[in-house]
Chain A
Amino acid sequence: MTLLVVQALNGFQLGMLLFLIAAGLTLVFGVMNFVNLAHGVQYMLGAYLGVMFARIAGGFWSGLILASLAAGAFGLVLERLIFRHLYARSELDQVLATFGVIITLNEGVRLVWGSAPLELPMPDALSHSFQLMDGLRYPVYRVALAVTGLVVAGLLALVVNGTRAGMLIRAGASNQEMVSALGVDIGRLFRMVFGVGAMLAGFAGVLAAPLVSVEPNMGDNLLILAFVVIVIGGTGSIRGAFLAALIVGLVDTLGRSMITDFAHAVLSGPASSRVGPALASMLIYLVMAAVLAVRPAGLFPLRS
């Protein structure tokens, strides 16, 4: 039972990390109708910049702030140089070009920082842990990460639902031409959304860096998960992204920890050790398929 609670907590915390990445992706996808595969490398870049700034500025916190800002700025530079020319093009062109950005940045990071993985120590203030179950201590940092995700989700919900900028974002998502016909500078709105999205991904990268290894390609796997999240949640919807990130985090973590035991109970012999892990890695995609079968546009679609 305690194990279940611990695993649920792990799942929740993975979900919050996914949400930070998926929030920017879903806004860009929903509002601009732009498929940005390069969103995952923003996460990687954030982690690398975090390591670099933490070393230069001497601390996790300054690293976190500087790296998030730098990642946002870098996102804006990419938007200006590359992505801007893709908005009017087909989705295939967008996928190809942003995929090119992934490859370039992965190798670029390797050139600058080398291919050996890097480390970012936890901030001292959060580096202790508490007894969660017999024999297992839980790092305070992980709890802080989950809480941060909740706070960001709350702030984003406030901005999107309660401010003029948020209203324009929602309007832009449902009818772009109409908004620009009403005299709103839709380009500026896009840039703002893009910058915030890139910054959030970079922010998530720095937050994840003390838990995982900072290495080239670290964003690639998360990108796939983030796409699963926005497909389940419905593109463009912050609420959907939040709920879907929770579902994916919980299903993935709980599934992995339980399905092998389940497979062992049902099957026997070597088959069970093969079926379990295979099933566990498929689980979130099965959930995605199930959601799409019932609600083809995701849980909270912006356009119906």
Chain B
Amino acid sequence: MLKQVLAAGLMSALVAATAQAQTPPILKMTVIATLSGPQASLGEQVRDGFALAVEQRGGKLGGLPVEVTVMDDELKPDVAVTKIRGLLESSHQDFVVGPVFSVVMAAIFKPVTSAGVFLISPNAGLSTFAGKACSKDLFVTSYQNDQPHSVSGEFATTQGYKRAFIIAPNYQAGRDALTGFKSRYKGEVVSEDYVPLNQMDMQSEIAKIAAAKPDVVFVFLPGGLGINFVKQYRQAGLTNIPVLSTFTVDESTLPAEGDAAIGFYSGTNWAPNMDTPANKAFVAAFEKKFNYVPATYAAQSFDTAMLIDSAVKAAGLDHDRLRTALEKADFASVRGSFKFGVNHYPIQDFYLAQVAKRPDGKLQTEIRSKVLTADVDPYAAECKMQ
């Protein structure tokens, strides 16, 4: 009798064990980023940074095997929404990680969060979801969009620059950038120029800068615009006027800008030379695997994977417990200090970085000084998290 009970008990334990072995929980997530078109290199950084973290953990995050779907949003909001909707209808996802650009974020926010899936943005940090419309299922691991621009404004003020010449592309993000700069700049803005997004020759703006003779120049010129500006600025010999910038000189554009970019400043939350143990290991492993210097996009994406890793380890796959674990941000960020504010946007330090040449001849941005400490974005106070 006792034997039979024992045998039955053993049997059922065995059956349970094998059943569990057959269906271990799998962590399912999607990385959506811009992987085609002129801005594809930014999306590739996001994809590679995330992939590195997963690979380093043997294809697992938080101890669970991960199934990652990589999607190209083509920088088209409608395409992104169609793809995300199709994915969420056909399969269960635990996380959607992305996108690079704010226009795509605005489009996919609703489809993802209303499906009860976490949206974690490794780059785009729209103000819309940082204030009144903040969401319990949205986390942003980068910054709120205004912050990097305000770093340059703050720096220009503390340096006592009296006259600033500021330039951005003529679209909403460009206007936001200059507004962000002006929010912390106390001097006079001698000229506020908006250039078409597709302008290839910056020579006419450069001539205007030379004529205006400002103390400092601030530019937000992403992608090709910035590359053209940096090269042509140096060719025009305007070395005596310092240039502060955002997303103009970073590791995604430096290979094309070459030595012309040396000395340009950038407001940022991270740089490859940041002196934290986690960051040194990350940069070394990243360059070894992908053979290029990572930019903030890759670093923030790596942090995103580490955040998910820490949360799943602590809470498993239960949605509400996961959220609590995510809010704790209990992971070693490559940026050192990192925590979430009430609106699920980061509270972190911001720095002024400068382009320099490494001993191996490659260019990178290097931290020069800390400008803002534990900075909270200006919208966080309006957020009443439900």
Interface residues of A (CB under 8 A from B): 2-3, 6-7, 10-11, 13-14, 107, 110, 114-119, 121-122, 129, 133-139, 141-142, 208, 210-218, 221-222, 253, 256-257, 260, 273, 276-278, 280-281
CB nearest neighbor in B for A17? B201
On whether the beta carbons of A135 and B224 are closer than 8 Å, the reply is no
Cβ of B209 to closest chain A Cβ, rounded Å: 8
Could you say which of A6, A137, A218, A222 contacts B237, with CB atoms under 8 Å apart? A137
Could you say which of B38, B201, B258 contacts A14, with CB atoms under 8 Å apart? B201
Bound Cα distance from A92 to B224, whole angstroms: 31
Report the stretch among B82-90, B189-197, B269-277, B327-335 that lies at the interface. Answer: B189-197
B19 in the interface (beta carbon within 8 A):
no
Given contacts A116-B292, A119-B256, A213-B224, 11 further A-B contacts (CB under 8 A): A3-B207, A14-B201, A107-B36, A114-B41, A115-B44, A133-B210, A135-B210, A212-B228, A213-B231, A222-B200, A260-B194
Cβ of B198: which chain A residues have Cβ within 8 Å of it? 221
B238 in the interface (beta carbon within 8 A):
yes
B117 in the interface (beta carbon within 8 A):
no
On whether the beta carbons of B38 and A137 are closer than 8 Å, the reply is no
Given the interface pairs A10-B201, A133-B211, A211-B201, the reply to whether A110 lies near B236 with Cβ below 8 Å is no
B24 in the interface (beta carbon within 8 A):
no
Cβ of B207: which chain A residues have Cβ within 8 Å of it? 3, 6-7, 10, 133, 136, 257
B204 in the interface (beta carbon within 8 A):
yes
On whether the beta carbons of A136 and B256 are closer than 8 Å, the reply is no
Cβ of A138: which chain B residues have Cβ within 8 Å of it? 236
B66 in the interface (beta carbon within 8 A):
no
Cβ of B213: which chain A residues have Cβ within 8 Å of it? 135
On whether the beta carbons of B204 and A253 are closer than 8 Å, the reply is yes
Given the interface pairs A10-B207, A110-B40, the reply to whether A129 lies near B231 with Cβ below 8 Å is no
On whether the beta carbons of B235 and A139 are closer than 8 Å, the reply is yes
Cβ of B206: which chain A residues have Cβ within 8 Å of it? 136
Cβ of A212: which chain B residues have Cβ within 8 Å of it? 200-201, 224, 227-228, 231
Bound Cα distance from A281 to B231, whole angstroms: 23
Bound Cα distance from A122 to B260, whole angstroms: 12
CB nearest neighbor in B for A222? B200
On whether the beta carbons of A7 and B235 are closer than 8 Å, the reply is no
CB nearest neighbor in B for A110? B40
B373 in the interface (beta carbon within 8 A):
no
30 contacts between A and B (CB under 8 A): A2-B211, A7-B204, A107-B36, A115-B36, A116-B41, A116-B252, A116-B256, A116-B292, A117-B253, A117-B256, A119-B256, A129-B235, A136-B206, A136-B210, A136-B237, A137-B236, A210-B231, A212-B201, A213-B223, A213-B253, A213-B256, A215-B256, A216-B40, A217-B37, A217-B38, A218-B224, A253-B201, A256-B195, A256-B204, A257-B208
Bound Cα distance from A257 to B257, whole angstroms: 24
Cβ of A6: which chain B residues have Cβ within 8 Å of it? 207
Could you say which of B37, B40, B192, B195 contacts A273, with CB atoms under 8 Å apart? B192
Cβ of B170: which chain A residues have Cβ within 8 Å of it? 277-278, 281
The interface centre, meaning the residue of A2, A121, A137, A208 with most chain B CB atoms within 10 A of its CB, is: A137
Cβ of A222: which chain B residues have Cβ within 8 Å of it? 200
Bound Cα distance from A278 to B41, whole angstroms: 29
CB nearest neighbor in A for B170? A277
Could you say which of A115, A129, A142, A213 contacts B228, with CB atoms under 8 Å apart? A213
Bound Cα distance from A136 to B235, whole angstroms: 9
Cβ of B194: which chain A residues have Cβ within 8 Å of it? 260, 273, 276-277
Cβ of B252: which chain A residues have Cβ within 8 Å of it? 116
